[in-house]
Structure 1
Amino acid sequence: MDKLRWWLLGSAVPVGAACAVSASTPGPGYVGDLALAALGIATAAVLWTAGRSKQSGWRGWRLFALAPLTPVVGLVAVTVAAPESPLEQVALRWLPTVPGYVLVVVATLTLVAPSRLRGGARPAVELALFLTACVLVVQVLVLGPDPGWSDLAPTGAVVLGAAVLVTSASMAAALLLLGVIESRRQPMALVLLAATALLAPGRALGTAATLSGEHAVGDVGRFLIGGGLVLLGAAVLVDPGPCPESGRRPRSGRSTQLRQVLPYLAMTVACFGAAAVSLTGHRISPVIAVGGSLCAVLAVLHRWLTARDEQRLGARLRHSEAYFRSLVAASSDAVLILDGDLRVTWSSPTLGTTLGGSAAVPAGADLLELVHPEDAVPVARALRSAAADAPPPGVLRLRLRHADGTWRHLEASTSDLRSDAVVGAVVLYCRDTTERVARERALEQVAFTDPVTGLPNRAGFESRLEGALAETGTTCRSLLLIELEGLDEVREDAGRDVVTAVLVEVGRRLRTTVRGCDAVSRVGGGAFALLAEGAPHAVDLLADRCLSVIEQPVDTVAGVFDLSAGIGVVDLAAAGSVAELMTRAELALRAAVAAGTGSAVRYRPALGSAAERRARLRDDLPGAWDRGELSVLFQPIVSLGEQRVTGVEALLRWQHPELGEVPPTEFVPIAERAGVIGELQRWALETAAAAVLPLPHSGTPVRLGVNISASHVAARTLVRDVAAVLQSTGLAPERLVLEVTEATLMSEGEHVAVDMEALRLMGVHVALDDFGTGRSSLAHLTRLSIDVLKLDHAFVLRVDRDPKARALCESVVAIAAALGLDVVAEGVETPAQLGALRAAGCGFAQGFLLARPMRAQDLVDVLDVGAGQLWPGLVGSR
């Protein structure tokens, strides 16, 4: 745009100089005409270039770009034809120029959306008035104060009449555009009007000079035309373009005032023109008289149409106001309008009904004086922050006084319209929530209170904790989490009612033990929580007193019961949220329970580190097998009779990318609690089976033993998972040994025995793992569906030096042989243990003495060397 401005100014300077030279030279101003032709071409280029970004299609400024070229065509036609008669020269010049002015009229009207030009008869009257006034002025400039249309030849009269008409129409269109265009584009419309106001008289003076031979008048016309072309190019440069709301009616007061004033301005110009003709001593022709009278009539008609529109608009506004007032009055929501100082300017009748009378919220009253004193600061902060361009408040809650003296609860949504020039107020849409607040408080009392002890429950206590964490100050506060021990025995011996009485008594004792400012709550079945103020040593003494009162015998109708407890203590300053605080208190409580009966433990970071590690492992375990972090190692099982490897046990290993190697004893329980043990063991089964399938063997293929979790058995998917693995890998069922603990096999539910029997029918072997630990019983061996008995490491630990252990081992081996069970001794670490087991008749063994867990490739090397012979050198061969 800057380049176009300089181009237009650069073209105007030499054109002005050429017009000045033409004016100073006697005779026709051919130099000035050529300069104007060049300026017209430059203006057309500016209009075309700048107009491309204003409107799409052949509208607006693109049509304007063609108009300055038509006078150039007329100049070329006159130069080529060289007519002798001045009238012929004028006619030849105007023949192409008249269509150019028609383009100007059309282009002017297409600068705005058609919706702005519609409006009944009023725009037509305005256009007629503008056109009449312009015709009167232009025809005087063309033909002089004494127009003699009858003296002109018919061709000349038609050409000049058309010239007068189209130049007047261009000015009329510019005047109409100025009245209807949006306010942001009015500077452009003013420049365009000035351009047409210079071009029309300029062309008229040029025509008059050609007809009369007065070259001085023509020089003035050239200067006017040059200025008009420059302003026409400037108009497109100052046009900001139509806005998105260009299709709407003009709403600004400035645009409406211009539209009302312009018709009377046009009538005034026409009247002054007629008066000027009379004052110069010329006779007012009938054309001027009729034109002036027509302007007056059109002005009166325009005023009548304007008044009628104003009446209609006023009626619509009154109807609209009554309509919306009725809607507001009938609405269940009350409307309250405040000024910038938060004073009441209007309130709907609904608000008066809510508050028992309209006098409850009088006009002019300060809202902050009407609301409850506790609500004044929050209301003022919310409404005044909205005026400071802060985010608008969501729902504003306030209380207003009822006529009977009570306070009504209101919930208000806010519309801050102080920046709106029409409204200039804050609007509150209020709803009476008094009954709802009362119900919420009753429900809150129920929701936050323990029905057994009457103390706050966990939700109420956590709400109290949130308030304590939000408070600032130097007060030291601590959370004590108490868990009772012995309630299960009370329930088993005396029943639920006695347990309730015990809990009530414990709550009473705790409440009398703490100070009045301390909070006591029941947060679980046998769990209580205290929020106590004081230094750490004082809180530790309070924990000891709580333990003391809890351990005092509780006398009930069913007898005397003794309780104990564990207490976890944590400072409020040690955590930033309620969830974190409760988590740390539970960690301290677990440590206190583990420390023994009647212990109180204060939270320390080491407790959190162990919990954080478990949480990290729980989050990272799902999908660890897909990420390649899990692997399977194989520990050989050696036949003591053949002294070679006849089986292997698959052992899972997890190499965490950050925590390093995690032992199975740590991550398998986590997998069970996280619910991914089934996926984990399915992956282990499939991986181990695929690795064992190609192992070399001489004679009987190597068996594969896999540990099965109790959770996997309880999920009732073990049979399906084993069948799927056998089918996908091709492993023979008789080569697979599933190792299950005695507790799993003896668990409640017939499905366990059914699943074990189904696996054995498939050909899969079932081994009783870890026999000799816990509550292992020889009597169970006759009832369990097993094929292999695996002696735990603790069972064979002293078999080489304890006669009783050796005798027990020999008995178990003999019983297993009688029942047709293979016996595998686990954890063999010394040659003496291996010799004692062999002497006792044990068939198989595994342990570090024989081989440590190894990778599948290392196992292949072991099986290749000596056909799987594996025997320590310190133990005799036979």
Structure 2
Amino acid sequence: MDRLRWWFLGSTVPVGTACAVSASTPGPGHVGDLALGALGIATAAVLWTAGRSKQSGWRGWRLFAPAPLMPVVGLVAVTAAAPDSPLEQVALRWLPTVPGYVLAVLGILTLVAPSRLRGGARPAVELTLFLIACVLVVQVLVLGPEVSWLDLEPSGRVVLAAAVVVTSATVAAAVLLLGVIESRRQPMALVLLAATALLAPGRALGTSAMLTEEHAVGDVGRFLVAGGLVLLGAAVLLDPGPCPDASPRPRTGRSTHLRQLLPHLAMTVACFGAAAVSLTGHRISPVIAVGGSLCAVLAVLHRWLTARDEQLLGARLRRSEAYFRSLVAASSDAVLVLDGDLRVTWSSATLGTTLGSPTAVPVGADLLELVHPEDALPVARALLPAAGDATPPGELRLRLRHADGTWRHLEAGFTDLRSDTVVGAVVLHCRDTTERVAREQALEQVAFTDPVTALPNRAGFEQRLEAALAEAGTTCRSLLLIELDGLDEVREDAGRDVVTAVLVEVGRRLRATVRGCDAVSRVGGGAFAVLAEGAPHAVDLLADRCLSVIEQPLDTAAGLFDLSASIGVVDLAAAESVADLMTRAELAVRAAAAAGTGTALRYRPALGSAAERRAQLREDLPGAWDRGELSVLFQPVVSLSERRVTGVEALLRWQHPRLGEVPPAEFVPIAERAGVIGELQRWALETAAEAVLTLPHGPVPLRLGVNISASHVAARTLVRDVAAVLQATGLAPERLILEITEATLMSEGEHVTVDIEALRLMGVHVALDDFGTGRSSLAHLTRLPIDVLKLDHAFVLRVDRDPKARALCESVVAIAGALGLDVVAEGVETPAQLGALRAAGCGFAQGFLLARPMRLLDLVGMLDEGAGLLWPGLVGSR
């Protein structure tokens, strides 16, 4: 396209030179006519070539392309025919030119979509005015002021009339195109209008020169035609083509300011043309007079139509403004319009109603001065972005002062229209959310407050912990987790109402003990928490004071009660999250409770390591028996009268692949909490039963003792599990002794007694394990369904050197003998203890003095070697 543009512009140089030579040479300008013919051919080629990319089909510029060739055809016809009279020459020259102008008119009108050409009365008046004015000017230029249409022959009159009409119609079509074309194609339309404005008088002057043989007029006409052709080629080169999503033309029907002047310019040209005829001393012809009068009338009509349209448009705008104002006023949302500096430019009446006064938000006031001081910075950040950043639409929360002095909460959706040249403002759509905020605050108060003590609950306290962790490093803070001890006794003795009163009093005492900046919360049934500020030693003193006020007697309606507590202390700087902080506090308070009630203990990494160890064991314990990590050891039980092994006790051991050997005292409680104690003990029962069947024995087969967990008894599967093991292994029921603690046998529920009796009916023996610890009572021996009594290591520890302990042991053995119970002493470690027990009449013993727990292979070897005999002296001789 660039090469075509330069080629076309370059062709204008020889054409202009030829026209100049023709003008300087006396006589007809044949050289100029030939140059114009060549320029017409070049223009047609440019229109055809450049127009192919503008529109599809035979429309627009491709329809326009043949028009510049028609005058060339007329020139060739005149040259070939060489008519004698000037009128015949004019007629012959215009015969092919008239269709060319018709094609030009059609090409101009098809440059835009047909929908853009539709209009009302005013565009029709404009088009008629343009056409009449052009006809008047062109016919004056063609015929001159002295020649009348009646002076011409009929054939010449028809040809020249058609020439005047089509050339005028071409200019009128170009004017019409300028008013309806898309804005981006307006430069092209202006150049095209200029081209037609030069071509029409140029052709008219050329025709006039042929009729009057005034060659100077013909030279002027050639220059005008040459300029029109050049501008015509420039117009097609400037055309960017139609836009597929072009917006419709304005409702006024005008797309440029120039078009508003064109009707008046047309009337002025027509009037000046008539005045020029009159001033030159010629008589104004009836055609000029009528045409000028029509132009004046049409100009007046056009002005009236314009004023009416403007009045109607103004009325529509006023109605539209009133309509939207009414909509905004009737809306429940208050509208606030701000300028670029956030000053109020307009506010709806709804906002005044919301704030109790129409002048609550005066025009010109700075919004940042009207909002609550705490909201000024967030509002400024939201509505005054950094340079170059656009403010996205969003929501904003702010507070404005009511006429009664209170603050109303507003939720504003805002849109930044400062980049819009029409609006140039920030628009806020505000909704009054005061009641909703009040309800939310009330619900939040309920959600984060303990209903008993009116202190913050666990959720509210965790919120404060999150805020405190976010400020870590600015203030030294610690968490005190307080677990009350003794609430269960209060509940059993006095009921829940007294417990409530006790909790309220404890909360009051804690609140009175801490400083005003410290937060007290109730985080559980009998758990309180304190978020305290201060150095570690100051926090430790505060923990001691809290223990002191809790341990003071509580005077209630049911009497005096004494409570104690354990406190775990954690430094906030050592934790990364609220969950981590609470976990550490719980570990510390459990360690404090284990150390004894009334203790405050700080968290230390060792507590975390112990918790991690328990978590690891809990994860790895299920399936440990299938992986071969569990094993069973056997500790012999010796008859003191026969000095012979009469039974063994099966003891579980766990060899963890990473943590090493784990004692039963550690992993059995974990198994109970993990819910796998039943599977664990079924495996132990079956493994021990299979092993004891392989042991060598004397006249009486060895008995097998197995410890039974309280959780296994509570699960109600013990009878079924024991029966399944006996059936699977073939072990005689009377050889099995189930060792159960006193607390388990005395637990509530008839099912325990029923299950124990069922086991004894099967022939299985039941032993009371760990007798002498806890709250063991001799009176229980008469009621418990047992066959064997096992004295705990703590019971026989001082039997050799404490007369009272020895007397008690003798009494227990005597009572057990009277009840028909076998007595087994556990944990015998010295010969003196063994002698005292034998002297007291104890029947059986086990302990390190006799034999340590051993593997099955070692036990078989010991039994084979000693024929079942086992006594301290014999052991020492091995």
Query: Which amino acid in the other structure matches residue 237 of structure 2?
Result: A
Mapped partners of 1:167, 1:82: distance in 2: 25
Of stretches 522-531 and 153-162 in structure 1, the one that deviates more from structure 2 is: 153-162
Amino acid at match of 1:13: G
Aligned to 1:414: 414
Structure 1 position 831, deviation (Å):
1.5
The residue that corresponds to 1:135 in the other structure is 135
Query: Secondary structure of 1:228's partner?
Result: helix
Q: 1:46 to 1:834 in 2, by over 3 A?
A: farther
2:485–2:563 contact (8 Å) kept in structure 1: no
Deviation of 1:207 (Å): 5.2
CA-CA distance at 1:397 after TM superposition: 1.8
Report SS of the residue matched to 1:478.
strand
| Match status 1:299 vs 2:296 | no
Structure 1: runs of 5 or more not aligned: 639-652, 682-705, 711-740, 796-802, 807-826, 841-878
Larger mean CA deviation between 195-204 and 561-570 belongs to: 195-204
Q: Aligned to 1:219, which of 222, 229, 232? A: 222
TM-score by length of 2: 0.66
- Among 853, 858, 862, the alignment partner of 1:832 is 858
% identical aligned pairs = 59
- The 2-side partners of 1:204 and 1:614 are apart by 111
Report the alpha carbon displacement of residue 37 of structure 1 after superposing the two structures with TM: 0.7
- Structure 1 residue 296 displacement after superposition: 1.7
Distance between the aligned counterparts of 2:512 and 2:601, measured in 1?
22
Q: Deviations over 1:706-749 (max 9, x none)?
A: 99699xxxxxxxxxxxxxxxxxxxxxxxxxxxxxx977764468
Question: Structure 2 matches for 1:119-198, cutoff 5 A?
Answer: 119-145=119-145, 148-150=148-150, 156-181=156-181, 183-198=183-198
Q: The residue matched to 1:394 in structure 2 has which SS?
A: strand
Q: CA deviation at 1:304?
A: 1.2
Letter paired with 1:563: S
- Tell me the distance in 2 between the aligned counterparts of 1:754 and 1:284: 137
Of 14, 18, 21, 1:17 maps to 14
The 5 Å alignment of 1:720-735 reads: none
1:101 matched to 2:127: no
SS at match of 1:520: strand
| 1:596-618 superposed Cα distances (whole Å, 9 cap, x missing partner) | 65555555677778989999999
One-letter code aligned to 1:72: L
Change (3 A) 1:34 1:503: same
**Partner SS state of residue 198, structure 2:** helix
Contact 1:592 1:600 in 2 (8 A): yes
In structure 2, give the amino acid aligned to 1:84. A
Alpha carbons 2:204, 2:221 under 8 Å: kept = no
How far 1:524 sits from its partner (Å)?
2.2
Work out whether residues 138 and 200 of structure 2, in 8 Å CA contact, stay in contact via their aligned partners in 1: yes
Asked whether the 8 Å contact 2:566–2:597 carries over to 1, the reply is yes
- Return closer, same or farther for 1:221/1:634 CA change in 2, 3 Å cut-off: same
Q: CA deviation digits over 1:572-596, x for unaligned, max 9? A: x455655555455456556655666
Give the Å deviation of 1:134.
2.8
Cα distance in 2, alignment partners of residues 157 and 668 from structure 1:
127
Structure with bigger gyration radius: 2
Measured in 1, the distance between the counterparts of 2:255 and 2:581 equals 66
Residue 689 of structure 1 corresponds to none
Conservation of the 8 A alpha-carbon contact between 1:555 and 1:561: no
The alignment partner of 1:483 has SS state of strand
Q: Structure 1 residues 165, 16: CA separation in 2 closer, same or farther (over 3 Å shift)?
A: farther
Please say if 1:34 is aligned against 2:38: yes
Would you say the 8 A contact 1:205–1:220 is kept in 2? no
Alpha-carbon distance in 2 for matches of 1:128, 1:660: 106
Indicate the SS of the match to 1:231. Answer: helix
CA contact (8 A) 2:254 2:260 kept: no
Alignment partner, residue 445 of structure 2: 445
CA contact (8 A) 1:101 1:167 kept: no
Give per-residue Cα distances to partners, 1:639-689, cap 9 Å, x unaligned. xxxxxxxxxxxxxx999xxx999x9x9999999999xx9xxx9xxxxxxxx
State whether residues 372 and 401 of structure 1, in contact with CA within 8 Å, keep that contact through their aligned partners in structure 2.
Answer: no
Q: Alignment partner of 2:449: what SS? A: coil
1:240-389 correspondence runs (5 A): 241-242=242-243, 244=245, 246-250=246-250, 255=255, 257-385=257-385, 389=390
The Cα offsets for residues 732-778 of structure 1, whole Å up to 9 and x where unpaired, read as xxxxxxxxx977764468xx799999x99xx999xx99987989999
TM-fit CA distance, 1:67 = 0.9
> Is the partner of 2:399 in helix, strand or coil?
strand
The offset of 1:13, in angstroms, is 0.7
TM-superposed deviation, 1:565: 1.8
Change in Cα spacing, 1:486 to 1:10, as seen in structure 2 (3 Å) is farther
**Residues 453 and 410 of structure 1: CA distance in aligned 2, closer, same or farther (over 3 Å):** same
Amino acid at match of 1:33: G
For 1:65, the equivalent position in structure 2 comes to: 62
1:476 matched residue in structure 2: 476
CA RMSD, 1 decimal? 5.5
Residue 239 of structure 2 is aligned with which of 233, 236, 246? 236
Shift of residue 68 of structure 1? 2.0
Report the counterpart of residue 84 of structure 1 in structure 2.
82
Which letter maps to 1:289? A
> TM-score, normalised to structure 1's length?
0.66
Q: What is the distance in 1 between the residues matched to 2:138 and 2:860?
A: 130
Note the 1:610-649 alignment, pairs <5 A.
none
Q: Which residue of 2 aligns with 1:718?
A: none
Quickly say closer, same or farther: Cα 1:636–1:592, change in 2 above 3 A: closer
The answer (yes or no) to whether the contact 1:90–1:211 under 8 Å persists in 2 is no
Residue 202 of structure 2 contacts residue 220 of structure 2 at CA under 8 Å; is this kept in 1?
A: no
Which residue number corresponds to residue 494 of structure 2? Answer: 494
Which string of whole-angstrom CA distances, capped at 9 and with x for unpartnered residues, describes residues 486-525 of structure 1? Answer: 4344334433223222222322232222211111111222
Give the whole-Å Cα distance in 2 for the aligned partners of 1:69 and 1:589: 102
Partner letter of residue 397 of structure 2?
L
SS at structure 2 position matched to 1:569: strand
- The Cα shift of 1:202 comes to 4.4
Cα distance in structure 1, aligned partners of 2:617 and 2:173: 81
3-state SS in 2 of match to 1:16: helix
Corresponding position of 1:522: 522
Q: How many residue pairs were aligned?
A: 707
Deviations 1:1-29 (A, max 9, x none): xxx23421222212432442365255243
How far apart are 1:437 and its partner, in Å? 4.0
Q: Distance in 2 between matches of 1:276 and 1:613?
A: 116
Counterpart of 1:510 in structure 2 is: 510
1:695-714 Cα deviation digits (max 9, x unpaired): xxxxxxxxxxx99699xxxx
Task: Name the SS of the counterpart of 2:233 in structure 1.
Answer: helix
Counterpart Cα distance in 1 of 2:605 and 2:57: 78
**Alpha-carbon separation, structure 2, partners of 1:505 and 1:233:** 96
Deviation at 1:101, TM superposition (A): 1.0
